[in-house]
Amino acid sequence: MIIVLNGELTDVTEETTEELRQNRFPDADTVIVDGEPVTTDTGLEEYSRVYICSMPEGLTGAITRRCTEGVASALGKATVGIAGAGGLGSNIATYLARSGVGRIIIADFDRVEPSNLNRQNYGLQHLGLFKVDAISEVISSINPNIEVITHAVRIDRDNVAEIFKGCNVICEAFDVASEKTKLVEAVSSLLPGVPMVCGSGMAGIGDTDTMNVRRLSDTLYLCGDGISEAWEEGIMAPRVAVCAGMMANKVIQLISKKA
């Protein structure tokens, strides 16, 4: 019988999940069949998709197996800082978690409220929590092996270097333009040489082909359309997510040295 075992077509003689686990992965404790965890011995069918691993140790390999080995290794060793855990920051954080970034440092003083649910990566269960605590829960639900360091504080020039020390890349994910500028100036002065990826112009429902990634200096990148303002066009999940995806992708490029 042919099944997809841990991502590869495999000819097996075993007929049940427990037989397969005992014969091939005796130390594993988790069996997932066609996307569903199974806790009882289950019969196998032709072309069943089976993943067998130890939790949580084997999970990172499963998540990153679609990356090339070099990229997965680089991401796993990387530390990424995210300033702000709102629409941009919460989405950037989860994209990086799904990509296998080993450590994420995220800072935000705000709490999750109902109006955030239109674009931020939170659910009803997170209402009232500090955003950094909520996003830490979300990341843990994706991959508990990722180290998440949280700071429920307002970022300023006095604490930015301490919060983001050791980061390979820092993402700016603030709402207010003046605060964005202050952060860029502080990082360039206090953490020289650390690349920054910023967002500007992701409001409204306009075409996303107006959004792009621009390199403004050796260490500064800007994503978005640079024009649309939230108070003029409203702010909706799709364009925010597109900008967050652009930012996360640029982070991955920088870490893997393919920028």
Q: What is the assigned CATH class of domain 69-255?
A: alpha beta
Over range 113-121, report the average pLDDT. Answer: 95
In this prediction, what percent of the chain has a pLDDT beyond 70? Answer: 93
- Contact criterion met (CB below 8 Å) for 88 and 135: no
What was the pLDDT predicted at 133? 97
Longest dimension (CA), the chain: 64
pTM comes to 0.80
56 prior amide bond cis, ω within 30: yes
Chain segment 148-180, per-residue pLDDT in tens: 999 999 999 999 999 999 999 999 999 888 899
Give every CB contact of residue 209 below 8 A, 6+ residues apart in sequence: none
Q: In angstroms, what CA-CA distances link 137 with 50, 97, 147?
A: 27, 12, 12
Average pLDDT over residues 14-34: 90
Beta bridge partners of 151: 107
- CA angle 228–126–247, rounded 5-degree value: 35
Q: Euclidean distance between the first and final Cα of the chain, in Å?
A: 44
Sheet (strand 36-38) strand order: 8-11, 2-5, 49-53, 30-33, 36-38
User: Which CATH architecture group holds 2-55?
Assistant: Roll (3.10)
Task: Point out which residues pair with 81 in neighbouring strands.
Answer: 105, 170
Under the banding of pLDDT at 50, 70 and 90, the label for residue 226 is confident
DSSP H helices in 25-152 = 59-64, 69-77, 87-99, 131-142
Q: pLDDT tens-digit profile of 141-152?
A: 888 889 999 999
57-101 pLDDT, tens digit per residue, is: 556 666 666 667 788 889 999 999 999 999 999 999 999 999 999
Domain ranges of the chain: 2-55, 69-255
